[in-house]
Amino acid sequence: MNFRLTHTTQYSYSEPVGLCRNEGCLLPRETLQQHCLSSELQIEPAPDELRERLDGFGNRVSHFAIQHAHKILKVMAISEVSVSPDPEPLALAHLVPWESVRNQLNGERPPKSLLAFPFLYDSLLLKRSQPLAEYARPSFPAGRSLAEACTDLMQRIYHDFKYDPGFTTIATPLSEVLANRRGVCQDFAHLGVACLRSLGLAARYVSGYIETLPRPGQERLVGADASHAWFSVYAGNSGWIDFDPTNNQVPSEQHITVAWGRDFSDVSPLRGIAFGGGKHKVAVSVDVARTSEPPRQYQAQSQSQNI
Amino acid sequence: MNRAEKSEIVSVKIETEQRKKSGPQSYATELGTYNTSRGAAEDLRPHEQQLMQTLEKLGGKKLEKRRKEAQRLLRENGATHNVFEPVATSRTWQFDPIPLIIDSEEWTRIERGLAQRAELLNLILEDIYGPQNLILAGLLPPELIFAHQGFLWPCMGLFPAAERHLNVYSANLARGKDGRFWVLEDLIQPPFGSGYALENRVVMARSFPRLFQDFQVHRLAMYYRALRNRLALLARHNKIEPRVVILTPGPEHAYFFEHAYIASYLGYPLVQGGDLIVRDGCVWLKSISGLLQVDVILRRLNDDLCDPLELRKDSLSGVPGLLEAVRLGNVVTANTIGSSVLENPALLAFLPGLCRHLLGEELLLPSVATWWCGQPRECEFVLQNLDRLVIKPIHPMVDLPEEASGPMDEKQLQRWRECILADPHLFAGQELACLSTAPAFVSDKIEPRTSILSTFLTAQGKSYLAMPGGLTRTNVDEGNLLIANQAGSFSKDTWVLTKEPGKQVNLWLHAQPNQLIQPLFSSLSSRAAENLYWAGRYAERTDATSRLMQSILIKLRQFSEFHDPDDNHSLNQLLQALTHVTRTFPGFVGEGAAEKLADPRAELLSLTRDIDRPGSLRSSLRSLSRSAYPIRDRLPEDAWRVIDNLQQNWNPKIAMTLIGSGRLYDSINKLIIQLSAFSGLISENMSRETAWLMLNIGRRLERALNLIELLRATLVPCYEPDTEAHMMETVLTTSNSLLVFKRRYRSFMQLSTILELLLLDENYPRALAYQLQQLQNHIGKLPHESTVEQTRLDEKLISEAIEELRGADHNQLTKLSSSDSTYPLLEKLLASQEKRLETLSCSLMQLYFSPTVVPQQLESVLQGKVS
């Protein structure tokens, strides 16, 4: 399946910004199931510096700076991606008891598992804890396969937690999400990652997009999508397997991966430091379109928020 | 030997250690009882004996006297306190005059061991931030890297192979009972103490010159020369004259003294994050002559605070984009950002194996026995010996002290036990019970104390060079093994003995015979310029307030003795002038003025000593020292001492009823004399470069403004002839001009002649016209970008002010119409001059200080999606 992705972020300032420096994690990486056909970053006003590099996790990071006064900054990431799902890892993970993966990471440690270690411990936003382990425990009875256990965890998060965009912010700690049983995709992905780590498994936070389909009989709204996030578990020889607790779905051809890290802070889509600017507003719009569809006129419908 | 076997052996060792402790040796000296806690076979080393004999000759009383003198020197130099800290929390760093002595063979061994260790750590860094082969090979547990806060993912790739990333390195050592030195910990980021080591040596040499006659002691300057060479070599571009800066967290930092000290010693600008900016992928220093490119940064700022864009987002002391500039190779930091991953006590347990693997050698300098709890057997051992080991988290943790040592009660033990069990891989235990002691002069006696030696290395050629000496810290309490923090510890000089007679090493470079050396007028950072300007203003403000206060005290006394209503009238005018000059409204002019004028004593006392009241003498003095402290490296040597003394000693404790007694007057008099000493030092010792210009611009501007305020409050109103004469005399006294006036105009007291002298005389240093002249002269000399052709705003403002003042005529100014109660033209001129000067002050700030704009964080919003 091929997609065309458009992710627009616009900052509007009350005062001019003389200098800003930003890092974006907006261009999709290559994965085993995904190939990036094309990608570009359109920035207004034109940046004085723009460079791309791979970070320690292999994500594509764009670094740019604008060194002259501006009151609006618009960053548009446009890419085309082809997704070809591979059901085999999940099938293999149905044959592996979850404890054997845990033991591999915590005892035997074959060289192949090196890649999983960065995702085994506490990270900036996610601390392993007893309550998290207790929440996850019912999904992980002795001897259950890793795939089955993680699917169960995903389902339980989906059923136990209410999707509530107004409740949390980037700064809301996980303990609060757990206590109130509500949040957004980012919180649910974080929850999954932290639960798995609390049990001694390696898990990472995946940032990306999901294709949304219109209700039957309705037109698809362009630009009304949003960036998305889910979790991924290390399954030993089968590699990594993704789970989307927000949609109760094992990602296959409708999920597009942009980047992964230990938590959101490693792969924040766009962050920056601005000198001056007074108050600022940010507006984000995302569009995920199958390229088989005819192109439509762009129409942003965005959420904005005062910070 | 595998690790498990090692644990058992050391466990046995701990027990035998316990048994051995039974009978310490002791012998008496005149000064007290000195017990060595070493084994029976060991006595004091020969050079320690020699030292003790010398000290014995000196005698306890003299020793204590000299110690106090050294302590005073340290204090005066600012080594032991920070003006930004509240007095109550100021650290009391005591000086112990008995140096730690290390003979030359031993030192050679130590230096070789430290150099090997630095070499090894360098290779480990390269691997951790590169291929991570050590983890793959099982030589380094992944937890020690990936679970350690010092491992910074954005720094991956900043450590290319075959380069040196550890350019400065420090290790804390202690002597074991076997007499050998052991490594307690490796310090990678901002190693603290090298400046204090130097300062201790300077003070020691001044207070105990005789001791140096009996010993051949290595000098320390060689280390600094090597460091400077090394830093210069790190520059990638601009290799001929690289610009090196020292990045400090700021004057609030506990070790700011040292940052300033080293900057001054090495001759590098001391900068804060806000002084640097990244543009076009390069780092620039904001100076008053524009942006200057920086090639090398010696960091005193922790890794994670260096770049709020990629590292800790809440860091206000970093430079956004610094990491990218490093990545591009446009700037080099020492050490490379990310190196602090090596500050991990658990690593000590793995160094011997890593040394064999990476260098093919045995580790020369042993580390203290360390058990990392990430492996079950070691964890078990640590849990069983919690009370005998020192427990350390692998990195600093919220809610937990840096280490657990010494006797703990059951509750504390339980707390640590729980922490370790919850996250064993985050803890290590160390055995420190076997440290030996060295003689220390604490509490009037020479006693045995454990001590820790901080050593300092810099990369040199293909290896490392160690400072021949270091900072030794000694514990005050006999029982404690460790110097937990510096509070309550003693520091002392460290002597490395040499067989060669002390060769003078200095930091001077040798010029080639025909080399032409251009004088370098060092650039002044905008922040330093701002501090200099305010130091000038506050020094002058303190002076003006003091003089006015003196006049008031005299009047107050006269009035209480003679009850002359004229005195009362002019007293009231002076009190109101005081409120204007100090800008301490409402004071004697606003609401409640009547009561305050009736009994001004409380308000006067408040204006002398309320430190938190802006405008009070004490507050101005504190502001003066806070402006001067960050730029003390720019001031003449003794100038800082004068300011510091002023600030520390100005705290008049005078009862309200005694305010007129003359004691306060005398105190203020002393204050004025010390302020003159400061001015004298500045004027006689500072080269007329930008720093001096800035300080003097501040001073002239403040003097002009204060004079205007004084005249507006005292001479603008009309008085009865008798009162007027009183008033005029007081104004002349307050502006220190009575004698000049008398000489010039004999005994004819007249407003217009006063104005001629105090306002219009361009050659009289107390006159307004003179201040403006000086301001114009200084402002004209300030550096400015040559591209700007038109007259700068500051030059325009000052020449307009001068023009206006020149246009004034002292006879015209005193014209009165019958209905006037004030001199309208005088008031108009003074008000206009004041406004012009205030505008000038603002434009100077805009032009030269580039007020730091607080950067703001931008984050994109992430919204979830249900389909």
Q: pLDDT digit string (tens) for B227-249?
A: 999 999 999 998 888 999 999 99
* Size of the A and B interface in Cβ pairs below 8 Å: 144
Asked if A111 and B157 come within 8 Å (Cβ–Cβ), the reply is no
Nearest to A212 among B157, B320, B867 (CB): B867
Would you call B689 an interface residue with chain A, using a CB distance cutoff of 8 Å? no
How far B369 CA lies from chain A's nearest CA (Å)? 24
User: What mean pLDDT do residues A116-130 have?
Assistant: 94
Query: Which chain B residues are closer than 8 Å to A55 by Cβ?
Result: 153-154, 156
How far A267 CA lies from chain B's nearest CA (Å)? 11
pLDDT-above-90 percentage for chain B: 53
Residue of A nearest to B310 (CA): A23
Nearest to A273 among B154, B280, B309 (CB): B309
Asked if A229 and B157 come within 8 Å (Cβ–Cβ), the reply is no
Asked if B864 and A184 come within 8 Å (Cβ–Cβ), the reply is yes
Q: Write out pLDDT tens, residues A209-224.
A: 999 887 777 777 776 7
Quote the pLDDT of residue B240.
87
CA distance B775 to B698: 9
Kindly tell me the sign of the dihedral angle through the C-alpha atoms of A195, A197, A203, A205.
Answer: positive
Nearest to A56 among B156, B860, B863 (CB): B156
Phi-psi region of A173 (alpha: psi -120 to 50; beta: other; left: phi over 0): beta
Nearest to B864 among A55, A121, A163 (CB): A163
Partners of A163 in the β-ladder: A183
User: What mean pLDDT do residues B726-733 have?
Assistant: 91
Q: What is the mean pLDDT of chain B?
A: 85
> Which tokens in the block code for residue B741?
């006036």
How far A38 CA lies from chain B's nearest CA (Å)? 23
Would you call B139 an interface residue with chain A, using a CB distance cutoff of 8 Å? no
Asked if B853 and A275 come within 8 Å (Cβ–Cβ), the reply is yes
How far A291 CA lies from chain B's nearest CA (Å)? 20
Evaluate whether B495 touches B217 at the Cβ level (below 8 Å): yes
pLDDT-above-70 percentage for chain B: 86
pLDDT tops 80 at residue B770: yes
pTM value is 0.86
Asked if A276 and B864 come within 8 Å (Cβ–Cβ), the reply is no
CA distance B423 to B240: 51
Q: What is the mean pLDDT of chain A?
A: 90
> Which tokens in the block code for residue A213?
């389909």
CA distance B305 to B311: 7
Q: Reduced to 3 states, what is the DSSP secondary structure of residue B509?
A: coil
Long-range CB contact pairs, B686-693, < 8 A, 24+: B686/B635, B686/B636, B688/B781, B689/B521, B689/B522, B689/B524, B690/B288, B690/B289, B690/B521, B690/B524, B690/B529, B690/B782, B690/B783, B691/B524, B691/B528, B691/B529, B691/B532, B691/B631, B691/B634, B693/B778, B693/B781, B693/B782
Quote the pLDDT of residue B14.
34
Q: Write out pLDDT tens, residues B378-430.
A: 999 999 999 888 899 999 988 787 777 667 788 888 999 999 999 999 999 99
Would you call B308 an interface residue with chain A, using a CB distance cutoff of 8 Å? yes
Residue in B140, B283, B419, B863 to test binding to A, most A beta-carbons within 10 Å: B863
How far B791 CA lies from chain A's nearest CA (Å)? 25
Lowest average pLDDT, out of A202-206, A210-214, A293-297, B293-297, goes to A293-297
> Taking the CB of residue B357, how many other CB atoms lie within 10 A of it?
16
Tell me the Cα Rg of chain B.
32
Quote the pLDDT of residue B477.
66
Residue of B nearest to A304 (CA): B861
Asked if A63 and B136 come within 8 Å (Cβ–Cβ), the reply is no
Residue of A nearest to B864 (CA): A185
pLDDT tops 50 at residue A305: no
Task: Characterize A97-124 residue by residue with b for buried, 16 or more Cβ atoms within 10 angstroms of its Cβ, and e for exposed.
Answer: ebbebbebbeeebeeebeebbbbbbbbe
Query: Which chain A residues are closer than 8 Å to B858 by Cβ?
Result: 11, 20, 22, 270-274, 280, 282
Q: Reduced to 3 states, what is the DSSP secondary structure of residue B276?
A: strand
Confidence of residue B867 (pLDDT cuts 50, 70, 90): very low
Residue in B865, B866, B867 to test binding to A, most A beta-carbons within 10 Å: B865
pLDDT tops 70 at residue B470: yes
User: What mean pLDDT do residues B507-511 have?
Assistant: 59
Quote the pLDDT of residue A61.
98
Quote the pLDDT of residue B212.
82
Asked if B861 and A188 come within 8 Å (Cβ–Cβ), the reply is no
Residue in A57, A76, A121 to test binding to B, most B beta-carbons within 10 Å: A121
How far B608 CA lies from chain A's nearest CA (Å)? 40
Nearest to A114 among B132, B309, B320 (CB): B132
How far B749 CA lies from chain A's nearest CA (Å)? 56
Would you call B275 an interface residue with chain A, using a CB distance cutoff of 8 Å? no
Residue in A5, A11, A15, A21 to test binding to B, most B beta-carbons within 10 Å: A21
How far A293 CA lies from chain B's nearest CA (Å)? 19
> Taking the CB of residue B316, how many other CB atoms lie within 10 A of it?
15
Of the candidates B462, B494, B437, the residue with the CA atom closest to the CA atom of residue B100: B494
Asked if A187 and B864 come within 8 Å (Cβ–Cβ), the reply is yes
Confidence of residue B24 (pLDDT cuts 50, 70, 90): very low
Would you call B862 an interface residue with chain A, using a CB distance cutoff of 8 Å? yes
Asked if A21 and B278 come within 8 Å (Cβ–Cβ), the reply is yes
How far A86 CA lies from chain B's nearest CA (Å)? 22
Confidence of residue B818 (pLDDT cuts 50, 70, 90): confident
Residue of B nearest to A215 (CA): B867
Query: Which chain B residues are closer than 8 Å to A120 by Cβ?
Result: 142, 146-147
How far B322 CA lies from chain A's nearest CA (Å)? 11
Nearest to B864 among A226, A261, A269 (CB): A226
pLDDT top residue among B42 and B294: B294
pLDDT tops 50 at residue B131: yes
Nearest to B863 among A57, A184, A213 (CB): A184
User: What mean pLDDT do residues A16-41 have?
Assistant: 95
Quote the pLDDT of residue B521.
55
CA distance B840 to B818: 36
On the CB side of B859, how many CA atoms lie within 13 Å of its CA?
19
Asked if B142 and A170 come within 8 Å (Cβ–Cβ), the reply is no
Residue carrying the six token digits 């403000």 = B541
Enter the ipTM.
Answer: 0.92
pLDDT tops 60 at residue B18: no
Cβ neighbours of residue B152 closer than 8 Å, sequence gap 6 or more:
B303, B304, B311, B337, B338, B341
Evaluate whether B218 touches B469 at the Cβ level (below 8 Å): yes
> Which tokens in the block code for residue B58?
């000196």
In single-letter form, the type of residue at position B601 comes to: R
Q: Write out pLDDT tens, residues B284-337.
A: 999 888 899 999 999 999 999 999 999 998 888 999 999 999 999 999 999 999
Residue of A nearest to B855 (CA): A275
Quote the pLDDT of residue B524.
86
Of the candidates A47, A5, A69, A74, the residue with the CA atom closest to the CA atom of residue A259: A5
pLDDT tops 80 at residue B857: yes
> Which tokens in the block code for residue B173?
């050592």
Quote the pLDDT of residue A152.
98
Asked if B320 and A273 come within 8 Å (Cβ–Cβ), the reply is yes
How far A109 CA lies from chain B's nearest CA (Å)? 9
Q: What is the DSSP letter of B273?
A: G
Quote the pLDDT of residue B790.
62
